[in-house]
Amino acid sequence: MKFDIRKIIGPRIIKTGLSTFLTALICMALDLPPIFAVITAIVTIEPTAYASLKKAYVRFPASIIGAFIAVTSLYIFGENAFTYSLAATLTILVTYRLNLHSGVLVAAITAVAMVPSVQDAYVFNFLSRLATTTIGLATSTLVNFLILPPKYAGQIEALTKASTKQTHSLLIQRLGELVAGKYESDKSEKAYTKVQNAITETEKLLKYQQDEYRYHKSNREEMRLMNQLERELQFKKLYFTHLGNLIYLPEDISMKFTPQEKAAVEEIIDYLNRDLDELTMTNSAVRFIRRHIRNLDDEADAFKIHILYEIIIIYQMIVQHHKAGSSTHKKVQTNSRPKDGTT
């Protein structure tokens, strides 16, 4: 088994430690105080190389602004509580006004940390702090770019599989509640929120990985997997929206399923509990519900029509997506076979 230290302490922790070490080493070699550079290196490690490079362009001028405001405030008011407050407040205000949002933290830390150490050498300390902050920023950016490039595909795949299973279980649970006349359910709402958070996390990691591919090349298999995961995520979001329409119903909803309607929904539940390979786009329950909806009153049975339509839509979405995924998988397997007839 191949040893991977990233599975023990995580790549971001490793890169933070490495960038801190290198930053301190460079500053000490240049006889510069390393504290500002180290602080900068710690707070500027990002999830991707793209984010580091993009934010570096913002953090550098923000650091200059923070250092300048600190020196100016100290020169005018001396070292006191008001100076700390003024340096921090003005730095945050100016950086926000200039849309340097990603550099606010670094700039504010630089400004406040400079106040007690400037003394009378204003110009020297300004240039010194600016140099050390630049070293920290540059080191963390290079480490993030060159060392242990992030690979989120495994996490995305695991989250996708888990959320797919949870969503399917939630759908079956919710259909059972509706058949039982339970139109409000704290249990389903909590489960919905949990899956929603997983989908949001998946979307964030997918964006990170796509950004990373701007600077680190990927092979064909990696791109195929990422495209597949992206399609899965888009389907999941649409599926999840329709499921939400079954969970978040109006509080004053008043309706009752007939025995025939309950039987049809229970049949749908039974189908969903089977192997997805066995499902077809239409079955006796789907056909009954479609015919039955035409006989319902658009006004008196509006909520019932809405729920029954959503059930059919979700069921057929699941079947269609599964069949499309199975076809794609078979095609990939066929194309990957040797053409000379060998196995």
**Together in a domain, 184 and 264:** yes
Last residue of a domain, one of 110, 125, 146: 146
* 51 in any annotated domain: yes
**Together in a domain, 107 and 193:** no
Domain housing 79: 11-146
Counting the structural domains of the chain, the total is 2
* 190 in any annotated domain: yes
**Together in a domain, 139 and 158:** no
What's the CA gap between 168 and 318, in Å, rounded?
9
**Together in a domain, 185 and 271:** yes
**Together in a domain, 81 and 162:** no
* 2 in any annotated domain: no
**Together in a domain, 244 and 132:** no
Last residue of a domain, one of 121, 146, 171: 146
* DSSP string covering 191-236: HHHHHHHHHHHHHHHHHHHHHHTTTS---HHHHHHHHHHHHHHHHH
* 341 in any annotated domain: no
Per-residue pLDDT of the chain (343 residues), as tens digits, is: 454 555 556 777 888 889 999 999 999 999 888 887 888 888 888 877 777 777 888 888 888 898 889 888 888 888 889 999 999 999 999 999 999 988 898 889 888 888 876 666 778 777 887 888 889 888 988 888 888 777 788 888 899 899 989 999 999 999 999 999 898 999 999 999 999 999 999 999 888 888 777 766 666 777 788 888 888 889 999 999 999 999 998 887 778 889 999 999 999 999 999 888 888 888 899 999 999 998 888 887 888 899 999 999 999 999 998 888 765 545 444 444 444 444 3
**Together in a domain, 268 and 191:** yes
**Together in a domain, 94 and 225:** no
**Together in a domain, 243 and 327:** yes
Last residue of a domain, one of 117, 146, 175: 146
Range list of H helices, the chain: 6-9, 11-29, 35-43, 49-77, 81-97, 104-114, 122-146, 153-179, 186-212, 220-247, 259-272, 284-294, 302-335
**Together in a domain, 106 and 85:** yes
241-297 pLDDT tens trace = 999 999 998 887 778 889 999 999 999 999 999 888 888 888 899 999 999 998 888
**Together in a domain, 100 and 78:** yes
What's the CA gap between 241 and 34, in Å, rounded?
51
**Together in a domain, 128 and 191:** no
Q: How many CA atoms lie within 13 A of 33 on its CB side?
A: 14
